[in-house]
Structure 1
Amino acid sequence: MQSLRRRETLTGQLVKTISERIASGAYPVGERLPSEQVMIDEFGVSRTVVREAVANLRASGRVTTVQGVGAFVVQQERSGAFQIEASGLSVVQEMVSVLELRIALESEAAVLAAQRRTDEQLAAMRKALADMLAAIEKGEDAVQADMEFHRCIAEAAGNPHFLKLFNYVGELLIPRARLQSFRLEGVSMREYLDRIHREHEQICYAIERRDSEAARAALRLHLSGSRDRLQRSISKVSA
Structure 2
Amino acid sequence: MQTRPITLTEHVIQQLRAEIADGIYPVGARLPTGKQLAERFGVSTSVIREVTEHLRSQGMIESRQGLGSTVRSRVSDAGFRLSGSVGADATDLAEIYELRLDLEGAAAAMAAQRRTDQDIARLGALLDALAAQLHDADHGVEPDIQFHIAIATATHNKYYLQLLQYLNLQLHHAVRTARLNSRRQPGLPEQVHGEHVAIFDAIRLGDAEQARLAAAAHLRNAAARLGLALRPIR
For the 8 Å contact 2:182–2:225, the answer to whether it is kept is: no
Question: Please, which runs of 5 or more residues in structure 1 have no aligned partner?
Answer: 25-77, 235-239
What residue number does 2:122 align with? Answer: 124
3-state secondary structure, aligned to 1:84: coil
Identity, % of aligned pairs?
A: 31
2:195 to 195, 199, 206: 199
Q: Displacement, 1:20?
A: 4.6
> Whose Rg is larger?
2
For the 8 Å contact 2:123–2:200, the answer to whether it is kept is: yes
TM superposition score normalised by structure 1: 0.60
What residue number does 1:106 align with? Answer: 104
Q: Map 1:59-208 onto structure 2 (within 5 A).
A: 79-136=77-134, 140-174=138-172, 176-177=174-175, 180-181=177-178, 188=184, 191-208=187-204
Structure 2: distance between partners of 1:113 and 1:169: 18
For the 8 Å contact 2:178–2:226, the answer to whether it is kept is: yes
3-state secondary structure, aligned to 1:85: coil
Question: Please, which runs of 5 or more residues in structure 2 have no aligned partner?
Answer: 11-46, 55-75
What residue number does 2:220 align with? Answer: 224
Q: Displacement, 1:187?
A: 6.2
For the 8 Å contact 1:132–1:142, the answer to whether it is kept is: yes
1:102-127 Cα distance to aligned partner (Å, 9 max, x none): 11111000111000000010000000
AA at the equivalent of 2:142: Q
**Aligned Cα RMSD in Å?**
3.5
AA at the equivalent of 2:178: S
Aligned length: 172
TM superposition score normalised by structure 2: 0.62
Q: Does 1:209 align with 2:205?
A: yes
AA at the equivalent of 2:200: C
Q: Displacement, 1:79?
A: 3.3
Structure 2: distance between partners of 1:233 and 1:103: 13
3-state secondary structure, aligned to 2:133: helix
3-state secondary structure, aligned to 1:86: coil
AA at the equivalent of 1:135: Q
Q: Displacement, 1:139?
A: 6.4
Higher mean displacement: 200-209 or 132-141 = 132-141
